[in-house]
Structure 1
Amino acid sequence: MFVRAMLSIVLLLVSVASIAGPKIQHWTLGNGARVYFVPAKELPMLQIRVTFDAGSSRDPAGRAGLARLTGAMLNEGAGDLSANDIALRLESLGAELGAGVDRDMAAINLRSLSDSELLDPALDLFAKILAAPSFPAASLERHRAQALVALQKEAQSPGAVAEKTFYRELYGDHLYAHNPLGAEGSIKDITRDDLLQFHRRYFVGANAWIVIVGDASKRQARKIAERIVGKLPAGEPAAPLPAVNPLYAKKSKQIDFPATQTHIIMGQPGLRRGDPDYFPLYVGNYILGGGGLISRLSVEVREKKGYSYSVYSYFYPLRQAGPMIAGLQTKNTQRDDALKLVNKVISDFVAQGPTQAELEAAKKHITGSFPLRLDSNGKIAENLAVIGFYGLPLTYLDEFIPNVEAVTVEQIRKAFRQRVHPDNMLTVTVGGGR
């Protein structure tokens, strides 16, 4: 009996430890770069992620796509190193480099073994790429051609057309409106000087966040952070983005497209990162359309009516109000019926909220899958980058499950009534005639 009791206690402690967030250490460098560090000694690896407030919302007028091109070309040359030199050095060190740009941020990642003989030269190379990219003219032409081909492919995809149109119609003159990939005219106009100026303005200490996760002590992490971004000029943080205007009336946009199915995206401005209603909206949306086959939208639209194989909804929080989106793909002949039903499901949910049984099931699924969001150094680094970039509390991951479990039916009902307005939705449809 005693052994069984002790085993139960041990299993409980293991369970609690498995869902606790990583212990985040934080400091700021002299040039303003903010550092977030989590030690993880289990594997001899380091995952490093540097983000800059240099997403597509920072593209200058007439230069849509500049942020993405800048990020894509960081490893095309640095100082006296060519793209081939960089690739060969990374390969010889067993290190991996990657970059990505969305509407808010540019992120550059380095994954390396922690052995100093491999790590030190990898860090030196990473620092050089961040501080002194050369943006060679020949590489710019190659990336320009690739971007133009990607734009042509998007124009042939009804789903991509629907998404681009949705953002353009929803955000209007706001910086979130344009496609991060850019537009044909702006891509053709971008010059090497544009890349250099963009890098000089935004890739600076005051505009940087660095995440280090892996096999290092805090003392080593401090040296690593200084080595990578400590010598970047301090510069200035990016200017605050303007607020997003809400929709005050229903809006629709139909685009004819030679296809037997219609792609539908509908929504409105939703919430920004750190919004006090985040958890009621997050949990509520899981019930509405974020929970896969068990969500209300899936049950009503897919299971009962067979209008669509997949129907979904989600909130996409950004620095300013990111979109609340619902979407599906359906036969042209069923478009109006499917739209009517989706609107009804959303309206009913806003009016009535979830049942207690739906809420308990959602909490169980969300909390049960939470450890999978932190089951690798790469995933931890991604989460830390979001925490740092958006100024979320360092306890965010520790408090995630308690915050989910604290959500009530009434909180969801109140948040959806205040924040989701079914009568003021933008609806974009892309497809053929009925």
Structure 2
Amino acid sequence: PKVKREQIKYFTASDKKETVITPEDTQQAYIYFGAPFNYSYKEKDQYKAKIAEYLLGGAGFGSRLMEEIRVKRGLTYGAYAMLRRTKYASYLSGYLQTKLSTQDEAKKLVQKVVDDFVSKGITAEELEAAKKFLVGSEPLRTETLSQRLNRAYNEFYYGRPLGFSKEQLKKIETVTLDEMNDFITSHKELSELSFSIVTKK
């Protein structure tokens, strides 16, 4: 060892459901949002968080946020959300931009989409679509040497056995709708959204 090892400080995301407005000379409203996610990177069922993240806001046009905010209402070009699971924090974070006139509507809609997601869970069709994409696109995530090295590094960094990702992929193929909905509806804290909005002065 050549360096002094430091204990990583853990940060807990705010559950205060605050809204912070930052006035700027802008033509659009930039909406950032986040919430706690009481889930550790050490958990063995990371594949469930991966599916939940994909369907809530990580799937582009296959996600709830994109479907409700862009496709159905045309309020934005894109709406995204991620479930971050790191050594220093675990939280939901997301982003969208919209017209100044639809800022409040978009904010309320984000809250509603997340509330519905954690209260009702997902459908069988959504789960099947997520499985097909996550399993089917796997070769693209391990195509190059650098991708494979990066995956091996991450497995080491997070204290997981080599091959952990492949095992998780097998579990994605076999997870049931009930198992997924039990997982999603157990994380009510995701509804404790805070917003930071950059908008017109």
TM-score over 0.5 (shorter chain) = yes
Corresponding residue of 2:152 = 384
Residue among 253, 258, 279 paired with 2:25: 258
Distance 1:265 1:408, change over 3 A: farther
Please list every run of at least 4 consecutive aligned residues from structure 1 whose deviation after the TM superposition is greater than 4 angstroms.
none
Corresponding residue of 1:328 = 96
Alpha-carbon distance in 2 for matches of 1:240, 1:410: 38
Query: 1:246 deviation in Å?
Result: 4.6
Residue among 129, 135, 143 paired with 1:375: 143
- The letter for the 1-side match of 2:32 is I
- The 5 Å alignment of 1:274-293 reads 274-293=42-61
Work out which of the two has the higher radius of gyration on C-alpha atoms and give 1 or 2. Answer: 1
Is 1:411 aligned to residue 179 of structure 2? yes
8 Å Cα contact 2:114-2:191 kept in structure 1: no
Alpha-carbon distance in 2 for matches of 1:317, 1:422: 13
Residue among 340, 343, 347 paired with 2:108: 340
- The 5 Å alignment of 1:71-86 reads none
Query: 1:420 deviation in Å?
Result: 4.4
SS at match of 1:316: strand
Alpha-carbon distance in 2 for matches of 1:269, 1:298: 21
Query: 1:384 deviation in Å?
Result: 1.0
SS at match of 1:393: coil
Count how many residue pairs are aligned between Structure 1 and Structure 2: 200
List runs of 5+ in structure 2 lacking aligned partners: none
Alpha-carbon distance in 2 for matches of 1:276, 1:320: 18
TM-score (norm. length: structure 2) = 0.91
8 Å Cα contact 1:264-1:430 kept in structure 2: yes
SS at match of 2:137: helix
- The letter for the 1-side match of 2:136 is G
Corresponding residue of 2:126 = 358
- The 5 Å alignment of 1:193-272 reads 205=1, 233=2, 235-236=3-4, 238-270=5-37, 271-272=39-40
Residue among 154, 169, 186 paired with 1:401: 169
- The letter for the 1-side match of 2:144 is S
List runs of 5+ in structure 1 lacking aligned partners: 1-204, 206-232
Over aligned residues, Cα RMSD in angstroms? Answer: 1.8
8 Å Cα contact 1:289-1:311 kept in structure 2: yes
SS at match of 2:159: coil
Deviations 1:16-54 (A, max 9, x none): xxxxxxxxxxxxxxxxxxxxxxxxxxxxxxxxxxxxxxx
Query: 1:342 deviation in Å?
Result: 1.3
Alpha-carbon distance in 1 for matches of 2:31, 2:45: 27
Query: 1:302 deviation in Å?
Result: 0.3
SS at match of 1:421: helix
Query: 1:329 deviation in Å?
Result: 0.6
8 Å Cα contact 2:53-2:82 kept in structure 1: yes
8 Å Cα contact 1:244-1:269 kept in structure 2: no
Alpha-carbon distance in 1 for matches of 2:30, 2:175: 33
Is 1:424 aligned to residue 192 of structure 2? yes
Query: 1:305 deviation in Å?
Result: 0.4
Query: 1:297 deviation in Å?
Result: 1.1
- Greater shift, 371-380 or 389-398, is seen at 389-398
Is 1:273 aligned to residue 47 of structure 2? no
8 Å Cα contact 1:281-1:412 kept in structure 2: no
- Greater shift, 399-408 or 255-264, is seen at 399-408
8 Å Cα contact 1:313-1:326 kept in structure 2: yes
SS at match of 2:94: strand
Alpha-carbon distance in 2 for matches of 1:405, 1:256: 47
Alpha-carbon distance in 1 for matches of 2:174, 2:136: 15
Deviations 1:3-23 (A, max 9, x none): xxxxxxxxxxxxxxxxxxxxx
SS at match of 2:104: helix
Higher relative contact order (CA 8 A, sep 6+): 2
8 Å Cα contact 2:118-2:191 kept in structure 1: no
SS at match of 1:392: coil
Alpha-carbon distance in 2 for matches of 1:372, 1:413: 28
